Amino acid sequence: MKLIAWAIALAAAGLTPAAAQSPQAAQPQAATAAEAAAQPTVANAPGGSTAPANPEAVAMTATGPGHAAPTEVGVPRKSGIGIQEQVTDIGHYAANFHNNWLLLLCVVISLFVLGLLCLALVKFRRGANPTPSRTSHNTVLEVVWTLVPVLILVAIAIPSMRLLSKQYNPPPADLTVKVVGNQWFWTYSYPDNGGFEIVSNQLKEQKDVKPGDRYRTDKDGPPMLAVDERMVIPAGKVVKFLVTSNDVIHAFWVPAFWSKIDANPGQVNQMWVKVDRPGVYFGQCTELCGARHGYMPTAVEVVPPEQFAAWVASKGGTMPGAKPAAAPAAAPAATPAAASAEAQPAAPQPATNQAATAQN
Ligand SMILES: [Cu+2]
């Protein structure tokens, strides 16, 4: 008994949100620091925040693809109800199916059942109906109450099948992004663009980081949902996500895109989106994946295709069909940020879930 009590106390100490959020020692990342040193103007490069010398300063000044300010769409609203505004064709179809058909059916059926209950309470109460009917069979009624639910189910099944068919019959993809879940962060790689990979960690609040470390600002996104590196995809293009996991089961979901899919270790699942509206869209892991499950958000920035190409170039990738750019010559220290990046090649990274995982 004593042993069980100790086990429970230990588990509780390890799983509290406070423990999950406690600042972890920073992990220097030589590879990304080298990339930062190679970039002449880190702060002004499109999406250029790979490994800044002073992440906080860059977060405040960075512009371009990967750093757009969030809009009203793609984020949860305070006191909001209903489904988040959809930005994909599948999302529009599904939201319409839910709001204008399923919900309508639910209301009509509920009101009908409520009406029957009230009728029975009033008309067949003992005072009004002292001698109850002893009827036990009514063929017409039995056929009706079997047939009507079957018809209702068919009326739900047809649009459901259409929705599933849309989700699982993707058009030819213009771009593929490999999405990998990790305890507790996401990595996104771009096999069509040279295979570069970005690591996306949740941004913590200012009070939760050490002085000098990067923290969340409103430009990054709402609390709990903002990340240091967003996935960037082009608007108006069919994007295929190949989703898998490095450890346990996670789930990839951006509510405004509608579709959601599990990230299973040892298995590749597929999902696709086509978003016409540029913007920043936030989501969260939706499979209970461990102590920091609540701290691995997803942020996807949709940008016009030409900005996407600039972002890919800023990450060292290439566009399909384009010749790989020549490696930049040793650039002069054009900005104080770049100069300090060169002077301190192993600038400490902010404490992140990734750093914490590496330590564990
Ligand atoms: Cu997860």
Q: Give 198 Cα–ligand 1 centroid separation in angstroms.
A: 17
Q: Mind listing the pLDDT tens digit for each residue in 321-356?
A: 776 555 444 444 444 443 343 444 444 444 566 666
Q: Give 186 Cα–ligand 1 centroid separation in angstroms.
A: 8
Q: Give 109 Cα–ligand 1 centroid separation in angstroms.
A: 37
- Cα separation, 209 vs 24, in Å, equals 9
Q: Give 68 Cα–ligand 1 centroid separation in angstroms.
A: 25
* 337 contacts 43 by C-beta, under 8 angstroms: yes
Q: Give 290 Cα–ligand 1 centroid separation in angstroms.
A: 7
Q: How far is CA 300 from the centre of its chain?
A: 7
Confidence check: pLDDT of 12 > 80: no
Instruction: Report the percentage of the chain scoring pLDDT > 70.
Output: 72
Give residue 29's pLDDT: 39
Q: Give 265 Cα–ligand 1 centroid separation in angstroms.
A: 12
Give residue 323's pLDDT: 63
Give residue 337's pLDDT: 40
Confidence check: pLDDT of 90 > 80: yes
Higher pLDDT, 77 or 7: 77
Give residue 213's pLDDT: 87
User: What tokens does 301 get?
Assistant: 């920035």
Which alpha helices (H) appear in 186-345, and where do they start and end? 305-314, 336-343
* 271 contacts 253 by C-beta, under 8 angstroms: no
Name the residue among 334, 87, 41 with its Cα closest to residue 235: 87
Give residue 308's pLDDT: 94
Q: Give 239 Cα–ligand 1 centroid separation in angstroms.
A: 22
Q: Give 263 Cα–ligand 1 centroid separation in angstroms.
A: 8
Rounded alpha-carbon distances, angstroms, from residue 267 to 58, 245, 320: 37, 8, 26
pLDDT-derived band at 53 (thresholds 50, 70, 90) equals very low
Q: Give 257 Cα–ligand 1 centroid separation in angstroms.
A: 18
Q: Give 148 Cα–ligand 1 centroid separation in angstroms.
A: 42
* 281 contacts 87 by C-beta, under 8 angstroms: yes
Q: Give 310 Cα–ligand 1 centroid separation in angstroms.
A: 30
Q: What is the DSSP string of 9-24?
A: HHHHHHHSHHHHHS--
Q: Give 114 Cα–ligand 1 centroid separation in angstroms.
A: 41
Q: Give 236 Cα–ligand 1 centroid separation in angstroms.
A: 28
Q: Give 347 Cα–ligand 1 centroid separation in angstroms.
A: 28
Q: Give 4 Cα–ligand 1 centroid separation in angstroms.
A: 28
Confidence check: pLDDT of 4 > 70: no
- Cα separation, 192 vs 125, in Å, equals 72
Name the residue among 342, 313, 335 with its Cα closest to residue 326: 313
* 248 contacts 266 by C-beta, under 8 angstroms: no
Confidence check: pLDDT of 77 > 90: no
